[in-house]
Amino acid sequence: MFRFIRALTTMNLKANLALRGAFALQVLFMVLNNFTFFVFWWALMRRVPVLNGWRLEDVELLFGIVAAAFGLTVGLAGGVRHLGRFIDEGQLDTLLTQPKTVLVHALGLRSQPSGFGDLLSGVVLIGWSGRLSWHTLPLVAAAVGASALVLIASGIVFFSLAFWLGRVETVARQLWEMLITFSLYPEPLFGGAVRLVLFTLLPAGFVGYVPVHLVRAPSWAEGVALAAAAGAYLTVAIVTFDRGLGRYSSGSRFTTFG
Amino acid sequence: MTHKRVTMSTAAKYLAVLRFSMTMARYERAELYGRVAFFVVILGVFSSLWRVVAEAGMPLAAEPRTLVWYLAITEWILLSAPPIYIEIQEAIRRGDVVYRLGRPVSYALSEFASGLGLLLARAPVLGVTAFVCASIFTRWLPPYRALLLLVPFGLAAAALITALYLVMGLLAFWLQDVSPVFWVWQKLLFVLGGLMLPLEIYPDFVRRVAAFTPFPVVLAEPASFVLRSHVEAPVLLLHLGVWSCLIALTACWMFRRAALGLSVNGG
């Protein structure tokens, strides 16, 4: 399995780098995109330096972790955002005949070069937050990795709804974008029922807030909680996809994937 | 008399395109509902943010409730404007534009009319969403005069953004892929247009640069009706008029150059 994932990743990277100019342009514009969005926080926190205990460095860390996790997700498992269409249009046919896991193969089908721009800007923002050093690097990498796993798992669940509900591309995409939107804003903004949702159905808490806590104040309890959450969401995602695959009906398509 | 009749029939053709596009938009509602959901979430997040900012007790240029309304208006204008550049870019890349040039309507004007139809279908739904959400989240209503002025100026600003999308789409005659242009435009709109924060909150040099662009005219200026007690409607009208003329002239010139290039060199 790991050899297959490695081969898929290498192939995606080579495919992206084949068009170097387009790759560089997409990376550059995504970096610019993220920094432009961050101008909002720089402008705001110039006037309001502390928001319920959150300083600019903390927002940089949050934004950095989520951007890097999102970059890893769409850079290495970009197919997650297209699962709904694959299912609805019967595009999984080609994968079903192959001797590898359908889900992993489908995830690796659409690598987005812009994801590397997200990853790069994420690393820069984490660096600016002052939390990145050789000493904290493994912890930051683990936090970003866990955040990416929760993102991928959530994407699989949202887009797998197509197995039961048919054309749900728009709804699933909205759920996915809401998850990212909520992950990008500081935790103290949300309370009550919204907070409950953000740690269950729309797990922004495990995409952004808990990884940030872990890097700001490392503790075994928080580390175990994050790893358990990532494992649980991934398990739910795999079970959901496998159950859905049992209902999948062929699109009778003659096509090739590349 | 004859000239008048010809003008009327020309207007009727584009009006038909506009009405057709409006009808189509009513049947294809998925994207609109997606925009509504996004709108509700973003207003909810920002109303929480401004509440926390208010609790922090730090001075800002405006009250938190007016900032939520400001965002509701900028997002209403932006989300109402349909990104017609995508359709134009695809038509140019596929080559479909060649057979559309032969029709007895201007390709650029019919695309703009179609965009206005989409805008008129979306704007009321998004406007109601903005009004309901902002009033629930803030438990406050801006002065009625400001709300009444917002509707025509907001629609005019959204139409101007649609015209800018048209210009962007026409660039595909030369660039093929206009995504990088859109990305730059989007970032400039975000900062220089004051999408999320009024321009007063940004440093001086940002405001000075913004004054030379159409970005504040389409977002910050109409939305500022809820920030200020005195409303400078004639000034905004003048700005909208000047930029509309400039953008219309640019679109006409670009389309003529592109059509001439296609006629001389082929599609």
Q: Which pLDDT tens digit goes with each residue over B209-240? A: 999 999 999 999 999 888 875 557 888 999 99
Looking at the complex, does the CB of residue B242 fall below 8 Å from at least one CB of chain A? no
Query: Which of A32, A43, A178 is closest, CB to CB, to B197?
Result: A43
With b for 16 or more beta-carbon neighbours within 10 A and e for fewer, the B230-256 pattern comes to ebeeeebeebbeebbeebeeebeebbe
- With a cut of 60, say whether residue A255 has pLDDT above it: no
Dihedral sign of CA atoms B234, B239, B245, B251 in order: negative
In A, minimum Cα distance to B57 occurs at A48
Sign for the pseudo-dihedral over CA of B147, B153, B158, B159: positive
3-state secondary structure B187-207: HHHHHHCCCCCCHHHCCHHHH
Distance in angstroms (rounded) separating the CA atoms of residues B211 and B202: 13
Band the pLDDT of B265: cuts 50, 70, 90: low
pLDDT tens string B162-177: 999 999 999 998 887 7
Digit-coded pLDDT (tens) for A41-98: 898 888 888 888 899 999 999 999 999 999 999 988 989 998 988 888 888 888 888 8
Q: How far is Cα A97 from Cα A110, in angstroms, rounded to an integer?
A: 19
Check residue B3 and give its pLDDT: 59
Per-residue confidence band for A258, with pLDDT thresholds at 50, 70 and 90? very low
Tokens of B162: 């649609």
Per-residue model confidence as pLDDT tens digits over A157-192: 999 998 888 777 778 888 898 899 899 999 888 888
Tokens standing for residue A192? 């009550």
Q: How far apart are CA A85 and CA A167, in angstroms?
A: 8
Cα–chain center distance at B193: 11
Which residues in chain B are contacts of A39 at CB distance < 8 A? 190-191
Percent of chain A with pLDDT over 70: 97
**Averaged confidence pLDDT in chain B:** 87
Residue with tokens 């972790």: A65
B 22-41 residues with CB < 8 A to A = 30-31, 33-34, 37-38, 41
SS3 state of residue B90: helix
Contact B59 A47 (CB under 8 A): yes
